[in-house]
Amino acid sequence: MSIVSVIICSYNRSNLLPKAIDSVLSQSYSDFELLIIDDASKDDTCSVVEKYIDKDARIKYFKNDINLGISKSRNKGISLASGKYIAMLDSDDYWIDKEKLNKQIKILENDNSIGLIGTAISCVDEAGHEIREDVYASTDNIIRNRILIKNQFAQSSVIFKKDAVESVGAYNNELIVCEDFDLWLRIGRNFKFCNISDVTTAYFINTKSISNSNKLLIAKTTDQIIKKNRNNYPNYFLAKIKSLLRIIISHP
């Protein structure tokens, strides 16, 4: 049984997947299993992963019979994971700090009250060029004060306790977008938050324009999640104002 279960969910990204896998295998912390959840890809994802499995027994491959979507695929990975901790990595992102897992696991092992820990990220374009760095609040108190106003965790940088997620119900399968934000807020009701300021993760930003309909869906879903958590975190009214502005701007 491994201490950490790394979960990569992928759909038709065989061209990007190797970079994500390589970044996990390059970690100095080696006590992990890597679960790859193939969401019924139609490309050559299977053959790409098989080449890695032949070389590293820590890699486990699971292919969905039908396309389940990101939340159900992530939840499948969590249910299959044997680790005490779960590290998430999207297949179009990759880790750029070989000490990422080591740094986060040390903190989690030293403080049992922390349920979720993230890091700073480098936002990159299609060519891998940095667009900007996002550095989030690091301590639990400051994260709580900001999280309704702005999500303080990047999906591909986080590690969370498996039992923490199981206690709050994992990702919401009903959500098409913002499912990560919803989960972080539920974890934070029972556990402390933490971020490290080191940039450990390259986070892909699609520089092509997002459709107005998708922007509106994200804005409305965020607003619903904020409203649901109004009594759990501070600065609800400020977050609500910002949320309403996003909805207005997103309208076609």
Which residues are registered as beta bridge partners of 195? 118
4-208 fold? Spore Coat Polysaccharide Biosynthesis Protein SpsA; Chain A (3.90.550)
Mean pLDDT of 89-106: 98
Give the gyration radius of the chain's Cα atoms: 18
pLDDT of res. 251:
81
Dihedral sign, CA of 85, 100, 173, 17?
Answer: negative
Residue with tokens 């295998």, as numbered in its chain: 25
CA distance 152 to 85: 19
Which residues are registered as beta bridge partners of 201? 95, 121
pLDDT of res. 211:
67
pLDDT of res. 210:
65
pLDDT of res. 227:
98
pLDDT in tens, 193-208: 999 999 999 999 986 6
User: Smallest Cα–Cα separation from 118: which of 64, 195, 178?
Assistant: 195
Mean pLDDT of 74-103: 98
Cβ atoms of residues 199 and 121 within 8 Å: yes
- Domain limits of the chain? 4-208, 209-252
**Amino acid, single-letter form, for residue 225:** I
